[in-house]
Amino acid sequence: MFHWLEKHPFFFSVLVFAVVAFAGLIEIVPSFAQQSRPVIGTKPYTTLQLTGRQVYIKNGCNTCHSQLIRPFKSETDRYGHYSVSGEYAYDRPFLWGSKRTGPDLMRVGNYRTTDWHENHMKDPASVVPGSLMPKYTWLYKNVADVDTAYAEQLTVQRFFDVPYNKPLPMKDGSKETVKLAATLAGARAEALADAKLITANMKDQDVKDMVKEGKIPEIVALIAYLNSLK
Amino acid sequence: MNIAELQTYGYVAAMGILVVVSYGYIYHLYTKRKDADGRDYEEYGDLALKDDITDTPISAMSKK
Amino acid sequence: MENRFKDRPLEYDYSVTKLFMWATIVLGIVGMLVGVIIAWELAFPAVNTMFGSAIAEYTNFSRLRPLHTNAVAYGFTLSGVWASWYYIGQRVLKVSMAESKFLMFIGKAHFYIYAVAVVGVVVSLLLGYTTSKEYAELEWPMDIGIVVIWVLWGISIAGLIGIRREKAIYISIWYFIATFLAIAMLYIFNDMEIPTYFASGGIGNWFHSVSMYSGSNDAMVQWWFGHNAVAFVFTTPIIALIYYFLPKESGQAVYSYKLSLLSFWGLMFVYLWAGGHHVLYSTVPDWVQTMGSVFSIVLILPSWGSAINMLLTMKGEWQQVASSPLIKFMVLGSTFYMFSTLEGPVQAIKSVNAIAHFTDWIVGHVHDGVLGWVAFMIIAALYHMAPRVFKREIYSKSLMSTQFWIQTLGIVLYFTSMWIAGITQGMMWRAHDEFGNLAYSFIDTVTVLHPYYTLRAIGGTLYLIGFIMFAYNIFKTMSARPVEEDELVNASPMGA
């Protein structure tokens, strides 16, 4: 058998492939069904939150910030309850990160406010002296891409049955529904309404003016996303 | 039998087979020492050294 | 069969090798320069806006970091691997690219489509089009381009093997085949994504896509890919290189061909299981984590099998290490390979990982592998190929030697500073005071790293300087003293 393989590159390649593919088959495939079930209290993202999530990805926040709290006392003391698989059910892609140049953000919505983020993103070192984080000034000028977020919502609803417009059980026993607009215009209007709630707590006049004109700056969407991380 | 159980059996069986095959291969290499053409494996080290296009192939294609 | 070879031109054709050699050098400079810039950004955040705050969006750390990793891994490294493939492939199979117009066309297409894709990748990453998955950041239109390039390479491998004159397949070719197959599988499965523009009936940005996997599943697939992208871009093809270039340059056949075969199968079987060590203490199933940990330790065996085989190849010929800087690159390369394949499994032990994960120690580990092993081997490969491709001696031996020492110093500064930084930070994160409260706020654990970040940036800068010396040396080789065929048998000819 061995003699033969050494001289037959085609069958040799088939065997290499089988050996290499084998691990994936055993390790990954069977776990799929079990893990994607959301835990109670997990909600899909609203249009504005998902817009913010895309801003987060576009600016590579995940290169320095993790979203994974490991089950150690030092981590739960610092960041809150350790992460549970079902909490990530609606995260496409996952944003665990692999490097904490800055702190974990898994539950940042529990202990940071809109106002804090507004000041921090403009000049991180003025809020946290010694911070290495760059200033993200362009977030206050660039208009966020709500349309693409809406397209993503429609896609995940259609292909992965993400439960928009359905009552979902919450931890306190109540039900909540995350709305998904039927039309693009509706989604834009909803995102804008959510954005106005955020800007009510913000100081930057240019940002407020932009929202008044119906444009949502990236910073507003990003804050909506960060506030949703709990 | 659920899928996790199947997964476990599949894993154990495959590990067994692969261990046997790998050790079989070691045994094969070090007892036979020579491949199907009766050539010592170590001669193939020369594939890198005698690689000019005018060098005679270690085992030529046209032989077959 | 016999007739086909009768009137063949008795020369190997290195035109595609040459193209990829230039790509290796250009992308090496770009990738390493970006790396050096972001290293200084971490040491001195003001560097983020050094190029003006108007374009700070495109020059800040988080936008540039994926560009750095992509440029060095898929730019510099793959170009170096492909330059070597189009060189080694012909030689050990004893068949010239000139013998097949078809394969020559495929080789050229491979290069030019790749060159176009590189431009696309640089622009799209700078604009922030990213899937966020590490080492698989490219969005779907780019992914399709990558698949085309990969298929072209596959045709080239199968084609050269198909018309080969040497029936036995040298170990290097085995490793090239494994690289091709594994990356094809990993890349396709990890990049399963749905373009939202088409799925939603034409809304939003056409470039955007959404992953087919969510949460923990996405993480598991991603790190199954991420770990093995390291295996099959930074390990298997580089082993292919050293199994050819070290014996050829030193004139010593590989120490044990049998051991090379065994290590090959060992590596193939074990490597794929180890991906779980990237998600220890996360929300993926425990048994996947344990498996990742255990197999990472087992991985030491086949890795060291190859590395020891390389070092023993120099048996009785160690004076060559002293006399030839080219051999120095390769011997230090395999030493760093041993070193990082021991360090990796140590970091995969769960209790060590609890401290090391999320810190700079991981960054240090990656870099002693890529700077010391991958880049050194590719540099050595290009130095060995240059005299054969240009038919001229290497411009300067002393320049090569200086480069070697500067870069080695750079690597040492890099990994030592990252070790200290990583372990310091890991320990500070978990420190509690006598009352059970956290001893340090997060920012304390950041400011303490400043000196190490500065040292790392200096190390990286030294490495880049060495690489520019390398580029200059190769460039000058094109107009150096022409050499005769018989000077090119083993040790490469070098000018003073």
User: Which stretches of chain A score pLDDT less than 70?
Assistant: 1-3, 29-36
pLDDT tens, residue by residue, C432-453: 999 999 999 999 999 999 999 9
Of the candidate CATH numbers 1.10.760.10, 3.30.460.10, 1.10.3720.10, 3.60.15.10, the domain formed by A47-228 belongs to: 1.10.760.10
Q: Are C42 and C108 in contact (CB under 8 A)?
A: no
Residue C1 has pLDDT above 50, yes or no: no
Q: Give the pLDDT band (50/70/90) at residue C400.
A: very high
pLDDT digits (tens, 9 = 90+) for C194-235: 999 999 999 999 999 999 998 888 998 999 899 888 889 999
What pLDDT was estimated at residue B24? 86
Q: Which two tokens stand for residue C230?
A: 């390291």
Q: Do C170 and B63 touch (CB under 8 A)?
A: no
Task: Give the whole-angstrom CA distance, residue A88 versus residue A37.
Answer: 9
The alpha-carbon gap from A90 to the nearest alpha carbon of chain C, in Å, equals 6
pLDDT-derived band of residue B62, with 50, 70 and 90 as boundaries?
Answer: low
For A62, the token pair is: 């995940």
DSSP track, C308-376: HHHHHHTTT-THHHHH-HHHHHHHHHHHHHHHHHHHHHHHHSHHHHHHHTBSHHHHHHHHHHIIIIIIH
Chain B residues within an 8 Å CB radius of A3:
35-36
Q: Is this prediction's ipTM beyond 0.95? A: no
Please give the Cα distance from B33 to A93 (Å, whole number). Answer: 51
**pLDDT tens-digit readout, C11-46:** 899 999 999 999 999 999 999 999 999 999 999 999
Interface of A with B (CB under 8 A): 2-4, 6-7, 19, 22, 26, 30, 33
Best to test chain A binding among C230, C282, C359, C362 (most A CBs inside 10 Å): C282
Site of tokens 């490097």: A99
Pair type for strands C193-195 and A167-169: unpaired
Q: What is the pLDDT of residue B31?
A: 84
CB within 8 Å: C61 and A64: yes
Give the closest of B10, B28, B29 to A26, CB-based: B10
pLDDT of amino acid B12: 83
Query: C-alpha distances in angstroms, C444 versus A101, A113, C16, C115, C426?
Result: 12, 22, 52, 45, 12
d(CA B34, CA B45): 13
pLDDT digits (tens, 9 = 90+) for C262-285: 899 889 888 888 888 998 999 888
> Which pLDDT does position B21 carry in this prediction?
84
Suggest the residue from A120, A140, A152 to mutate for an interface test with chain C (most C CBs closer than 10 A): A152
CA distance B1 to chain C (A): 19
Residue ranges of domains in chain A:
2-35, 47-228
Torsion on CA atoms C363, C364, C370, C371, rounded to nearest 10: 130
If you measure CA to CA, which chain B residue comes closest to A4? Answer: B36
Confidence of residue C459 (pLDDT cuts 50, 70, 90): very high
* Residue B64: band (very low, low, confident or very high) from pLDDT cuts 50, 70, 90: very low
| C6 confidence band (pLDDT: 50, 70, 90) | low
Residue of B nearest to A3 (CA): B36
Q: What is the pLDDT of residue C3?
A: 47
Give the confidence band of C151 by pLDDT, cuts at 50, 70, 90: very high
First to last CA, chain A: 58
**C170: nearest CB among B22, B26, B48:** B48
Tokens for A189?
């209007």
Q: How far is CA B62 from CA A53, B36, B58, C99, in A?
A: 62, 16, 12, 17
Give every CB contact of residue C56 below 8 A, 6+ residues apart in sequence: A134, A135, A137, A138, C48, C49
Which helix (H) or strand (E) element contains residue C90?
Answer: helix C78-93
Distance CA C199, CA C180 (A): 31
Q: What is the pLDDT of residues C71-116, one digit of tens each?
A: 999 999 999 999 999 999 999 999 999 999 999 999 999 999 999 9
pLDDT of residue C496: 81
Count of CB atoms within 10 A of residue C232's CB? 24
CA dihedral (C374, C269, A24, A91) in degrees, to 10, reads -30
Provide, as residue numbers in chain A, all residues whose Cβ is less than 8 Å from the Cβ of C210: 92, 152, 155-156
Long-range contact pairs involving C442-451 (C-beta distance under 8 Å, separation at least 24): C442/A78, C442/A102, C442/A103, C443/A128, C443/A129, C443/A130, C443/A131, C446/A101, C446/A102, C446/A130, C446/A131, C446/A132, C447/A130, C448/C424, C449/C360, C449/C421, C449/C424, C449/C425, C450/C43
Q: Is the pLDDT score of C140 beyond 60? A: yes
Q: How far apart are CA C8 and CA A73, in angstroms?
A: 72
Quickly list H helices, A59-144.
73-79, 114-122, 124-127
SS3 B60: strand
Question: C65 vs A92: CB contact, 8 Å cut-off?
Answer: no
Contact B51 C10 (CB under 8 A): no
Residue B44 confidence class, pLDDT cut points 50, 70, 90: confident
- How many of the other CB atoms lie within 10 Å of CB of C479? 10
pLDDT by residue (tens digit) across C323-379? 999 999 999 999 999 999 999 999 999 999 999 999 999 999 999 999 999 999 999
Among candidates C62, C161, C208 on the partner chain, residue whose Cβ is nearest the Cβ of A59: C62
C168 and B54 in contact by Cβ < 8 A?
Answer: no
Asked if A131 reaches chain C (Cβ–Cβ under 8 Å), the answer is: yes
Query: What CA dihedral angle connects C231, C233, C238 and C241, to 10 degrees?
Result: 140
* Distances in whole angstroms, Cα of residue C144 to Cα of each of A178, C140, C206: 35, 6, 14
Classify residue C147 by its DSSP letter. Answer: H
Q: What is the CA radius of gyration of chain B?
A: 20
What tokens does C80 get? Answer: 């170096």
CA-closest candidate to residue A52, choices A168, A162, A216: A216
Instruction: Suggest the residue from B35, B63, B64 to mutate for an interface test with chain A (most A CBs closer than 10 A).
Output: B35
CA distance C407 to C313: 24
Q: Where are the beta strands (DSSP E) in A93-148?
A: none
- Before A93, cis peptide (omega within 30)? yes
> Are the Cβ atoms of B25 and A33 closer than 8 angstroms?
no
pTM, rounded to two decimals? 0.93
pLDDT tens per residue, range C163-205: 999 888 899 999 999 999 999 999 998 999 999 999 999 999 9
Q: Which amino acid is at A170?
A: M
**The pLDDT value given to residue A88:** 93
